[in-house]
Structure 1
Amino acid sequence: MVATDLFARRATLARSLRLLSAFRFEQSDPDRFYGALADDTVALVADLWTGATGTDPAGLTVLDVGGGPGYFASAFTDAGMRYLGVEPDPREMHAAAPRTHRRAGTFVRASGMALPFADRSVDVCLSSNVAEHVAQPWRLGAEMLRVTRPGGLAILSYTVWLGPFGGHEMGLTHYLGGRRAADRYARRHGRRPKNDYGSSLFAVHARDGLRWAAGTGALVAAFPRYHPRWAWNLTKVPGLREFTVSNLVLVLSPS
């Protein structure tokens, strides 16, 4: 079985529309948005694992780089996996609403640029929408591969800069240029954006990730995370993929 076979069956237009609808609530109702995203991420990891290994993912050790406030932790724990979250920002660790969120898993305050874990020590290393927030995304990727055991999976998913969501809360103004968009946001809202271009948001392109992943010799699959299966071939079209892929998933398995 190909690693993506199971997830490809789940990648329907209905799923894409459901996640797009949930995205509207990122700011107003984060529990609703991140809860849906967490459940979908668990399904992604479970399907990729079973597709690649033919085994059940229950009992796996999953290291989530940039785990944030713990929505993913609860979802992975409920699915029977051992969750380890790495988060450099203590504010993010406590961002979830305490009345609606159950804490689960184990968290470590550390940088994804230097993961405090031994070589080949986890079954799955996941990074969801983090690479575009660090100045050296492929150093992050190399660290993920280092801590993933042979036959395990490193799953790196990131927002492509030229896609419609590349500007994050700045909206489509990022097409004017990152710094210009951030300055425009600051003038309009009286504060810098949380995802401020050049400090907490960087232009990461689809071609960058594909080139890096191919160079590792460990690439298993690459596809658009939120697209239906029939649109996955967009990843193979240079130029067009930068605007249409939106979020690129790189699946790697070290040997």
Structure 2
Amino acid sequence: MPPQSLSAPSAWAPSLRRSVRLFRAFRVEQTQPEVFYGQLADDAVGHVSHYTDLAGARMLDVGGGPGYFRTAFEGAGATYFALDADVGELAGLGDIAPRTVLGSGMQLPFADGTFDICYSSNVLEHVDDPWRMADEMVRVTRPGGLTFISYTVWYGPWGGHETSPWHYLGGRRARRRYRRSHGHEPKNKFGESLFAVTVRAGRRWAASQTAGEVLDVVPRYNPARARWLSRVPLLREVVTWNLVIVLRRR
């Protein structure tokens, strides 16, 4: 089934200009999160709208965080539900919003086929059983609905998050170096709240799917002309910052 361009087909395209804008936003993730997450949330609305209509859609954001994505998706007409395991993350922009659930992404507290869209951005690398979480996302998506999974690739430039680029020497070593340099642990602790998830693993999971039709497996931030790189073993691991897997639930 080809992608649908329903909500805002002209507002989003994987152009070089878009890639440059998002890469620049990465530079201020820690110091100006409202800039980074605001731009990422707006881009996410356009990206998801490339495949399905958001207006009136009942959607779940697994690991929704402090609310930037809620604002963007509700602005596009979706009925937005968020799930997170951390109250602190959910309260990042103030009070916890309605339709918010505390729970585990690896055991979603919803019945099969509950949502039109199940979405997750930059969460999969923070759970110790990522493909169980991915399976759970497909499970709670209704037949014909969309599952959109996006995660940071370990061997990409930002794989170690705030410990990058030292993660190339090993996640635990990068964590120790950060602690020595800053006097405290990084927010994303390798082996506890950050894990190595690869492009290869994502493509393997997508290829094994029987519950959903795979619409796309592509680098999230790369321009369209460079997307073929995600199919080249080894090279794809270091040139892909973030991988997107999109499925239509059977």
TM-score bucket of the superposed structures, by smaller chain? over 0.9
How do 1:37-186 residues align onto structure 2 when only pairs under 5 Å count? 37-49=40-52, 56-96=53-93, 98=94, 106-186=99-179
**Distance in 2, Cα, partners of 1:140 & 1:4:** 26
The question of 1:23 aligning with 2:26 is answered yes
Write out the 4+ residue segments of structure 1 that deviate beyond 6 Å after TM superposition.
Answer: none
Secondary structure in structure 1 of the residue aligned to 2:55: coil
Secondary structure in structure 2 of the residue aligned to 1:10: coil
Aligned to 2:219: 224
Which amino acid is 1:2 matched to? P
Aligned to 1:11: 14
Secondary structure in structure 2 of the residue aligned to 1:163: coil
TM-score of the pair, normalised by structure 1: 0.91
Aligned to 1:36: 39
Secondary structure in structure 1 of the residue aligned to 2:60: strand
Aligned to 1:52: none
Contact map agreement 1:77 1:105 (CA 8 A) in 2: no
1:140 offset after TM fit, Å?
A: 0.2
**Change in CA separation of 1:35 and 1:105 when aligned onto 2, cut-off 3 Å:** farther
Contact map agreement 1:19 1:37 (CA 8 A) in 2: yes
TM-score of the pair, normalised by structure 2: 0.93
**Distance in 1, Cα, partners of 2:87 & 2:97:** 16
Contact map agreement 2:153 2:197 (CA 8 A) in 1: yes
Query: Residues 27-54 of structure 1: CA distance to partner in whole angstroms, max 9, x if unpaired?
Result: 11111111111111111111121xxxxx
1:4 offset after TM fit, Å?
A: 7.5
Structure 2 spans left out of the alignment, 5+ residues: none
Aligned to 1:213: 206
Contact map agreement 2:153 2:199 (CA 8 A) in 1: yes
Contact map agreement 1:162 1:205 (CA 8 A) in 2: yes
Structure with greater helix share of residues: 1
Contact map agreement 1:74 1:105 (CA 8 A) in 2: no
Moved more, 17-26 or 69-78: 17-26
Moved more, 120-129 or 2-11: 2-11
**Distance in 2, Cα, partners of 1:7 & 1:177:** 42
Secondary structure in structure 2 of the residue aligned to 1:84: strand
**Change in CA separation of 1:7 and 1:149 when aligned onto 2, cut-off 3 Å:** farther
Identity %: 53
Contact map agreement 1:163 1:242 (CA 8 A) in 2: yes
The question of 1:237 aligning with 2:232 is answered yes
**Change in CA separation of 1:154 and 1:221 when aligned onto 2, cut-off 3 Å:** same
Which amino acid is 1:141 matched to? A
Contact map agreement 1:61 1:124 (CA 8 A) in 2: yes
Aligned to 1:249: 244
Moved more, 116-125 or 212-221: 212-221
Aligned residue pairs: how many? 245
Which amino acid is 1:75 matched to? A
